[in-house]
A and B are shown apart, each in its own frame.
Chain A
Amino acid sequence: MKIRIKFTKQGPVKFVGHLDIMRYFQKAMRRADIDIKYSEGFSPHQVMSFAAPLGVGLTSNGEYMDIEVHSMKDCDTIMKQLNDVMADGICVTECHCLNDDAKNAMSLVAAADYTVTFREGKAPADEKGFFEGLLTFKDQDHIMIVKKSKKGEREVDLKNLIYQLSVCDNKIFMKISSGSADNLKPELVMEAYDQWRGEASPEFAFCIQREEVYGNTGNEANPVLVPLGLIGESVE
Chain B
Amino acid sequence: MKKLALSDEILLSIEKPARYIGNEVNMARKDTDSVDIRFGMCFPDVYEIGMSHLGMQILYDMFNRREDIYCERIFSPWTDLDKIMREKKIPLFALESQDPIKEFDFIGITIQYEMCYTNILQILDLGQIPLHACERQEGDPIIIGGGPCAYNPEPLADFFDMFYIGEGETVYFELMDRYKDNKKKGGSRREFLEMAAEIDGIYVPSFYDVLYHEDGTIKSMTPNNSHAKATVTKQLVVNMDDATYIEKPVVPFIKVTQDRVVLEIQRGCIRGCRFCQAGNVYRPMREHSLEYLKDYAYKLLKNTGHEEISLSSLSSSDYSELEGIVNFLIDEFKGKGVNVSLPSLRIDAFSLDVMSKVQDVRKSSLTFAPEAGSQRLRDVINKGLTEEIILKGAGEAFQGGWNRVKLYFMLGLPTETVEDMEGIAELSEKVAEIYYEIPKDQRNGKVQVIASSSFFVPKPFTPFQWARMNTKDEFLQKAYLVKDKFRTMLNQKSLKYNYHEADLTVLEGVLARGDRKISALIEEVYKNGALYDSWSEHFKNDVWLKAFETCGLDSDFYTVRERSLDEIFPWDFINAGVSKEFLKREWQNAIDEKVTPNCRMQCIGCGAKSFEGGVCYENQN
Q: Residues of B contacting A56 with CB < 8 Å?
A: 12, 17
- The reply on B253 being an interface residue by CB < 8 A is yes
- The reply on B221 being an interface residue by CB < 8 A is no
Chain A, Cβ-Cβ closest to B20: A15
Known: A20-B254, A24-B253. A31 touches B1 (CB 8 A): no
- The reply on A154 being an interface residue by CB < 8 A is no
- The reply on A16 being an interface residue by CB < 8 A is yes
Binding-face segment, B75-83, B106-114, B297-305, B611-619: B297-305
Is B255 within 8 A of A88, CB to CB? Answer: no
Known: A16-B18, A27-B305, A30-B301. A119 touches B8 (CB 8 A): yes
- The reply on B359 being an interface residue by CB < 8 A is yes
Is A203 within 8 A of B337, CB to CB? Answer: no
Known: A16-B253, A85-B25. A42 touches B12 (CB 8 A): no
Is B18 within 8 A of A204, CB to CB? Answer: no
Report how far A48 CA is from B13 CA in the complex, Å: 31
Q: Mark A9-48, 1 if CB is under 8 A from B, else 0.
A: 0011101110010011011111110001010001110100
Report how far A46 CA is from B307 CA in the complex, Å: 10
Is A38 within 8 A of B25, CB to CB? Answer: no
Q: Residues of A contacting B24 with CB < 8 Å?
A: 87
Report how far A44 CA is from B334 CA in the complex, Å: 10
- The reply on B306 being an interface residue by CB < 8 A is yes
Is A26 within 8 A of B255, CB to CB? Answer: no
Report how far A165 CA is from B306 CA in the complex, Å: 43
- The reply on B4 being an interface residue by CB < 8 A is yes
Report how far A89 CA is from B18 CA in the complex, Å: 14
Is B8 within 8 A of A57, CB to CB? Answer: yes
Chain B, Cβ-Cβ closest to A32: B305
Chain B, Cβ-Cβ closest to A31: B305
Is B339 within 8 A of A43, CB to CB? Answer: yes
Is A26 within 8 A of B307, CB to CB? Answer: yes
Q: Residues of B contacting A28 with CB < 8 Å?
A: 25, 305
Q: Mark B294-325, 1 if CB is under 8 A from A, else 0.
A: 00000001111111000000000000000000
- The reply on B509 being an interface residue by CB < 8 A is no
Q: Mark B10-26, 1 if CB is under 8 A from A, else 0.
A: 01110001100111110
Shortest Cβ distance from residue A163 to the other chain B in the assembled complex, whole angstroms: 28
Is B12 within 8 A of A30, CB to CB? Answer: no
- The one of A30, A42, A87, A119 in contact with B359, judged by C-beta atoms closer than 8 angstroms, is A42
Query: Which residues in window 182-234 of A have CB below 8 A to B?
Result: 203-204, 207
Q: Mark B171-200, 1 if CB is under 8 A from A, else 0.
A: 000000000000000000000000000000
Report how far A26 CA is from B307 CA in the complex, Å: 8
Is B305 within 8 A of A15, CB to CB? Answer: no
Is A87 within 8 A of B8, CB to CB? Answer: no
- The one of A26, A89, A119, A207 in contact with B1, judged by C-beta atoms closer than 8 angstroms, is A89
Query: Which residues in window 255-311 of B have CB below 8 A to A?
Result: 255, 301-307
Query: Which residues in window 76-126 of A have CB below 8 A to B?
Result: 85-89, 119
- The reply on B204 being an interface residue by CB < 8 A is no
Is B307 within 8 A of A204, CB to CB? Answer: no
Known: A42-B360, A56-B17. A85 touches B337 (CB 8 A): no
Residue among A15, A28, A119, A204 with most chain B CB within 10 A: A15
- The reply on B9 being an interface residue by CB < 8 A is yes
Report how far A11 CA is from B3 CA in the complex, Å: 9
Is B9 within 8 A of A204, CB to CB? Answer: yes
Is A31 within 8 A of B4, CB to CB? Answer: no
Report how far A204 CA is from B17 CA in the complex, Å: 15
Shortest Cβ distance from residue B357 to the other chain A in the assembled complex, whole angstroms: 10
Is A15 within 8 A of B18, CB to CB? Answer: yes
Q: Residues of A contacting B360 with CB < 8 Å?
A: 42
Known: A20-B255, A28-B305, A30-B307. A15 touches B25 (CB 8 A): no
Q: Mark B461-497, 1 if CB is under 8 A from A, else 0.
A: 0000000000000000000000000000000000000
Chain A, Cβ-Cβ closest to B22: A12
Residue among B8, B303, B359 with most chain A CB within 10 A: B8
Query: Which residues in window 409-423 of B have CB below 8 A to A?
Result: none
Chain A, Cβ-Cβ closest to B338: A30
Is B8 within 8 A of A16, CB to CB? Answer: no
Q: Residues of A contacting B25 with CB < 8 Å?
A: 27-28, 31, 85-87
- The reply on B251 being an interface residue by CB < 8 A is yes
Is A16 within 8 A of B254, CB to CB? Answer: yes
Report how far A89 CA is from B307 CA in the complex, Å: 23
Chain B, Cβ-Cβ closest to A119: B8
Q: Residues of B contacting A204 with CB < 8 Å?
A: 8-9, 12-13
Q: Residues of A contacting B303 with CB < 8 Å?
A: 31
Q: Residues of A contacting B304 with CB < 8 Å?
A: 27, 31
Shortest Cβ distance from residue A13 to the other chain B in the assembled complex, whole angstroms: 7
Q: Mark B587-604, 1 if CB is under 8 A from A, else 0.
A: 000000000000000000
Shortest Cβ distance from residue B73 to the other chain A in the assembled complex, whole angstroms: 15
Is A12 within 8 A of B255, CB to CB? Answer: no
Chain B, Cβ-Cβ closest to A205: B9
Chain B, Cβ-Cβ closest to A55: B12
Query: Which residues in window 6-45 of B have CB below 8 A to A?
Result: 8-9, 11-13, 17-18, 21-25
Q: Residues of B contacting A26 with CB < 8 Å?
A: 305, 307
Report how far A17 CA is from B254 CA in the complex, Å: 8
Is A27 within 8 A of B337, CB to CB? Answer: no
Chain B, Cβ-Cβ closest to A28: B305
Q: Residues of A contacting B337 with CB < 8 Å?
A: 30, 36, 38, 44, 46
Report how far A16 CA is from B4 CA in the complex, Å: 14
Report how far A27 CA is from B304 CA in the complex, Å: 7
Report how far A145 CA is from B135 CA in the complex, Å: 60
Report how far A185 CA is from B255 CA in the complex, Å: 27
Report how far A16 CA is from B25 CA in the complex, Å: 13
Query: Which residues in window 335-375 of B have CB below 8 A to A?
Result: 337, 339, 359-360
Shortest Cβ distance from residue B76 to the other chain A in the assembled complex, whole angstroms: 18
Q: Residues of B contacting A17 with CB < 8 Å?
A: 18, 254
Report how far A85 CA is from B26 CA in the complex, Å: 9
Shortest Cβ distance from residue A224 to the other chain B in the assembled complex, whole angstroms: 36
Chain A, Cβ-Cβ closest to B304: A27
Shortest Cβ distance from residue B301 to the other chain A in the assembled complex, whole angstroms: 7
Q: Mark A46-77, 1 if CB is under 8 A from B, else 0.
A: 10000000001100000000000000000000
Chain B, Cβ-Cβ closest to A57: B12
Chain B, Cβ-Cβ closest to A122: B9
- The one of A38, A87, A119 in contact with B23, judged by C-beta atoms closer than 8 angstroms, is A87
Chain A, Cβ-Cβ closest to B23: A12
Known: A42-B360, A46-B337, A204-B9. A12 touches B4 (CB 8 A): yes
Chain B, Cβ-Cβ closest to A39: B337
Is B23 within 8 A of A27, CB to CB? Answer: no
Report how far A11 CA is from B8 CA in the complex, Å: 11
Is B255 within 8 A of A23, CB to CB? Answer: yes
Known: A20-B18, A87-B24, A207-B8. 5 other contacts (CB 8 A): A12-B23, A57-B8, A57-B11, A57-B12, A204-B13
Interface of B with A (CB < 8 Å)? 1, 4, 8-9, 11-13, 17-18, 21-25, 251, 253-255, 301-307, 337, 339, 359-360
Query: 5 tightest A-B contacts by CB?
Result: A27-B305, A30-B305, A31-B305, A15-B17, A12-B21
9 A–B contacts from the bound complex (CB under 8 Å): A11-B23, A16-B21, A27-B251, A30-B301, A31-B304, A56-B17, A88-B23, A204-B8, A204-B13
